[in-house]
Amino acid sequence: MRARARRAARGVRRRPPPRAGAERPRRGAAGARERELDLLEWELGEIAQAAPSEAEEAALLADRERLRHLEALRAAAGAALAALEGEEHAAGGAVGTLAAAVSGLDSVASVDAELDGLGARLRALYVEADDLMGELRRYGESVGAEAEGEGRLDAVEERLAALERLKRKHGGTIAAVLAHAEACRRRRAELTGADEALADAEVELAAAREELARRAGELRAARAEAAPRLAAAVRERLAGLAMDHAAFEVALRERDGHGPAGADEVEFRIAANPGVPAGPLGDIASGGELSRVMLALMSVAAEAGPPTLVFDEVDAGIGGQTARAVGEALRALAAGRQVLCITHLPQIASLADRHFTIVKDASGATARTTVSQLAKGAVVGELVRMLGAESDDRAARRHARELLRAA
């Protein structure tokens, strides 16, 4: 509690945000941006010049396989043609044999319907074989002409090698190459629009700074107006906590830069005794004074405060009537909210609505802390213990009961 109070009293000092112009390193990256653009343009140009496609690659691979076997293809077509037409157009070929068979069946046409059906099928075979023979002849001639031509296979190999180089550089497939080209185009669009984006961002940043300065000024004016009222209200609460002559001030200082809480440093200053200049609360106040100042601040902010408040060792450095006054202030603060207070003083504990005891057991390997609510009859015994008396001390028990009745 004390450490938190000191931080609150001093105000949170944050590192100021970057000054105007902190974004300038972006301009320093212009050279790198130009180099990246050059690389993108070169890669896009290389891909565009090659104009790869998956369909073309498949066709080229098929062409290469065919061109590598032209002689075998021509020989196979020639052998098939020879089997159909015979050597030097002799009648021994398959087509000649089929023609003889058709002629033989034609000599007895229309005598037997079944044989006529077989003859029709045989005639269809002959026509198909004769047509196939012509196709084989034309195929052999075209393959022969292609085999005699120069450079076709070399051209296919060269084109496939160019595609292979692109694939090795950009992902291993034509699809990957095309995807890389699309990514390059998107990146190029981003980089070429960087100047416009930077200009737009600078305009937005200037507007945001102007709005930030305006709001910080409004917040400073509101703080300057509220500071005297807060100081007066805290002094009034301190008078009821046995600090009648304490001076309390709220000092504002403009700091370098803005933070989440504005552009001001707020410092609580106190002088516990008359004739002493006020100084920072965290440096001047004793433990008991600091606890009472924090209680006074919480009391002033009670209406806008949180629904639960926790005070740890708010009784540090106080006792007697001052402790009673602190307890009364805590009880008033508890109206309409939950106040949890850890205390060692029976004057404060007696004013609570509910009582809990906290016991630490360090006898085992790991220390354990147990919190237990006290039954109404056990409260007197706990107050006696807090008074430093034995449980059978009648005077102490009487004092404890008087404290509870006075509450």
What confidence tens digit (pLDDT) does each residue in 294-345 have?
888 888 877 666 788 888 777 777 777 888 888 888 888 888 788 888 888 8
The pLDDT of residue 324 is: 84
Q: Of 220, 226, 270, give the one whose Cα is nearest residue 249.
A: 270
pLDDT band per the 50, 70, 90 thresholds, residue 148: low
Report how far residue 185's alpha carbon sits from residue 176's, in angstroms, rounded to the nearest whole number. Answer: 14
Greater confidence, 319 or 228?
228
Report how far residue 294's alpha carbon sits from residue 241's, in angstroms, rounded to the nearest whole number. Answer: 11
**What is the percentage of the chain residues whose pLDDT exceeds 70?**
89
Residue 264 pLDDT exceeds 50: yes
Residue 149 pLDDT exceeds 90: no
pLDDT digit string (tens) for 163-182? 999 999 998 999 999 999 99
Evaluated on CA atoms 294, 299, 300, 306, the torsion sign reads: positive
Contacts of 361 (CB under 8 A, 6+ apart): 367, 368, 369, 370
- As beta bridge partners, residue 254 has 264
Evaluated on CA atoms 374, 381, 369, 311, the torsion sign reads: positive
**What is the percentage of the chain residues whose pLDDT exceeds 90?**
23
Q: Of 357, 362, 353, 363, give the one whose Cα is nearest residue 383.
A: 357
Name the pairing type of β-strands 338-342 and 308-312.
parallel
SS3 365: coil
- Spell out the domain ranges in the chain: 34-192
pLDDT band per the 50, 70, 90 thresholds, residue 258: confident
Report phi then psi at 7, rounded to 5. -65, -40
Report how far residue 289's alpha carbon sits from residue 396's, in angstroms, rounded to the nearest whole number. Answer: 29
